[in-house]
Amino acid sequence: MAELTQPAVVLSTLDLTPHVRQLVLRPLQQKILFQPGQWVSLKLPVGDKPPLNRAYSMADPSSPYGELTLVFDRIPEGVGSSYLYRLKSGDEVPISGPYGNFVLPMPLDRELLFIARYTGLVPIRCLLKQLAEAHTSTPVLLIAVAPSEDELLFHQELLTLAVQSPSFRYLPLVIPGGEAEAIERTLAMLRPLVEGQPKVIPMISVTKGFVRPLRTGLMEFGYDRKEVKTETFD
Ligand SMILES: Cc1cc2nc3c(=O)[nH]c(=O)nc-3n(C[C@H](O)[C@H](O)[C@H](O)COP(=O)(O)OP(=O)(O)OC[C@H]3O[C@@H](n4cnc5c(N)ncnc54)[C@H](O)[C@@H]3O)c2cc1C
């Protein structure tokens, strides 16, 4: 059955970094019940053939009131993200969902390895919150790549989590160069962490250009393709 498309009202907007914004929405007809790691589809009244469908992952787990926290960066000349940047409290946007299967695998019998570049961290942040709420003792390693220090998303929160939770390790990586450099340096960091080590559960999120070479790298380090869970934004 097709998911209901319904209006959602913008409750708040907040700039998290110079180029990343948070939008809190509340669906007006019925709650969207979702699992952390899933996403919703926004139908935007822009582009050559509106509506323009754009997917955004939830950054926070379900709330009792049904609000959805979305976090996105403004893509240069990006039609959808530029429109979202213009939304204000009280505006409405059609939404449907939830969709996707970038959810925690069960059982969690191995260490989790999350790798994200920039806003690829959004679904992973939701998964981290789920793990924290469940007080799970599963060890977690997060490698978060950002283009600059001030674009490290959720940085303070993740540092605090790393201090408070002995099972969580946070490795922020600032790589100002392009995608090729981000891939090369992330793989260089990854190699000693996984090669010859007990197997972990790898989950990687952002654009295909980053996710695919990282998955290939993990396969060279001994992982089966199916063992690497991915979410791609394009
Ligand atoms: C399952 C899923 C979940 C997503 N979750 C999020 C999210 O939580 N936060 C978020 O910011 N975006 C998310 N996206 C991406 C989002 O749907 C849009 O594609 C993005 O905002 C760009 O749309 P646009 O219309 O502004 O750009 P467009 O006009 O469509 O231009 C996109 C161009 O920018 C490139 N590009 C560079 N960086 C990105 C990027 N991060 N995402 C997509 N394309 C990129 C693409 O390769 C493409 O060439 C998700 C996408 C999918 C499929």
Half-sphere exposure of 102 toward its Cβ, with a 13 Å CA cutoff? Answer: 32
Phi, psi of 136 (to 5 degrees): -75, 150
CB 58 within 8 A of CB 43: no
**Fold of the CATH domain 112-232:** Rossmann fold (3.40.50)
Which residues are near ligand 1 (CB < 6 Å)? 39, 54-57, 71-73, 75, 78-81, 100, 119, 122, 207, 231, 233-234
Indicate where the chain has its CATH 2.40.30.10 domain(s).
Answer: 6-99
Indicate where the chain has its CATH 3.40.50.80 domain(s).
Answer: 112-232
What's the pLDDT at 38? 98
What's the pLDDT at 1? 55
Phi, psi of 41 (to 5 degrees): -105, 125
The per-residue pLDDT string of the chain (234 residues; one tens digit each, 9 = 90 and over) reads: 577 999 999 999 999 999 999 999 999 999 999 999 999 999 999 999 999 999 999 999 999 999 999 999 999 999 999 999 999 999 999 999 999 999 999 999 999 999 999 999 999 999 999 999 999 999 999 999 999 999 999 999 999 999 999 999 999 999 999 999 999 999 999 999 999 999 999 999 999 999 999 999 999 999 999 999 999 999
Atom of ligand 1 nearest to the CA of 118: 41
Helix (H) or strand (E) holding 4: none
The protein residue whose alpha carbon is closest to atom 27 in ligand 1 is: 78
How far, in Å, is the centroid of ligand 1 from the Cα of 78? Answer: 8
Tokens of 198: 């007990």
Class of domain 6-99 (CATH, top level): mainly beta
Helix (H) or strand (E) holding 181: helix 179-194
CB 74 within 8 A of CB 81: yes
Measured from the Cβ of residue 107, the count of other Cβ atoms closer than 10 Å reads: 7
Which has the closest alpha carbon to 57: 112, 115, 97?
Answer: 97
